[in-house]
Amino acid sequence: MPMTSPVLAALAEARRQRAPLFAHWCEREQETFCPASPATVARFAREHAGLGVDRLWQALHDISNTHLTLGLADPTAGPAVALVVDEAAGVSPPQSWPAAWKQRFKALPHDLKVFIAGHEKGREKSLRRTQHALAHANKTLERLRSARSVTTEDPIDEAESQRPDAGGQN
């Protein structure tokens, strides 16, 4: 679909220069750069997953900005592209989440998934540290209790030890 406005065409060319990886790929594959279909962008992302998720995410962000600036639908916002990015990034839903929420997690944008997954990983690590510290404190308490029972064969009754005539002295 050709651009009718010279201003929009100039803007698209400027964006093409800001999204050179996708623009060159579209030329090579004989695909339309703008507007691009979600299937085209997903194929681009799949073929460029080896770049690493950070560079791929930046390229997708450039594609998104190009389309949104021109008032076009964002071809990167669909589930096809999200699945490819998830595969490249290896971001999975938090283990503690119920299955229904794990499905909804997959629909989130990549940057939110990374934040949530990182936050949950930190929370799980903190929880494990706390559980470890509690187990250590319980072992120490048991050790102290057993050391006390070894040194005093008869358990001390605190009420009896407080009385002035304790120990049979009258």
Cβ neighbours of residue 147 closer than 8 Å, sequence gap 6 or more: none
Distance CA 92, CA 114 (A): 9
Q: Are 26 and 32 in contact (CB under 8 A)?
A: yes
Mean of the per-residue pLDDT values for the chain?
Answer: 81
pLDDT at 20: 79
Q: Which domain holds residue 12?
A: 6-90
Last residue of a domain, one of 90, 110, 141: 90
Distance CA 105, CA 86 (A): 11
- pLDDT tens-digit readout, 49-77: 888 888 888 889 889 988 888 888 999 98
The owner of tokens 């794990």 is: 102
Regarding whether 99 and 36 lie in a shared domain, the answer is no
The reply to whether 163 falls in a domain is no
The owner of tokens 């940057």 is: 111
> Does the pLDDT of residue 168 top 60, yes or no?
no
Residue 79 sits in a domain whose CATH number is: 1.10.150.130
pLDDT at 170: 46
> Burial, 155: exposed, middle or buried (Cβ in 10 Å; 0-12, 13-18, 19+)?
exposed
Distance CA 51, CA 65 (A): 20
Distance of CA 29 to the CA centre of its chain: 33
Last residue of a domain, one of 72, 90, 108: 90
Regarding whether 99 and 44 lie in a shared domain, the answer is no
pLDDT at 33: 83
The reply to whether 107 falls in a domain is yes
Higher-pLDDT residue of 25, 110: 25
Regarding whether 45 and 75 lie in a shared domain, the answer is yes
Higher-pLDDT residue of 164, 150: 150
Regarding whether 57 and 127 lie in a shared domain, the answer is no
Q: Token digits for 106? A: 């997959």
Regarding whether 79 and 16 lie in a shared domain, the answer is yes
Regarding whether 82 and 23 lie in a shared domain, the answer is yes
DSSP 3-state of 32 = coil
> Does the pLDDT of residue 108 top 50, yes or no?
yes
Lowest mean pLDDT among 23-27, 143-147, 165-169: 165-169
- The predicted model scores a pTM of 0.55
Lowest mean pLDDT among 29-33, 36-40, 42-46, 103-107: 103-107
Domain count, the chain: 2
Q: Please report the beta strands in the chain, taking only residues with DSSP state E, as ranges in sequence order.
A: none
Regarding whether 145 and 102 lie in a shared domain, the answer is yes
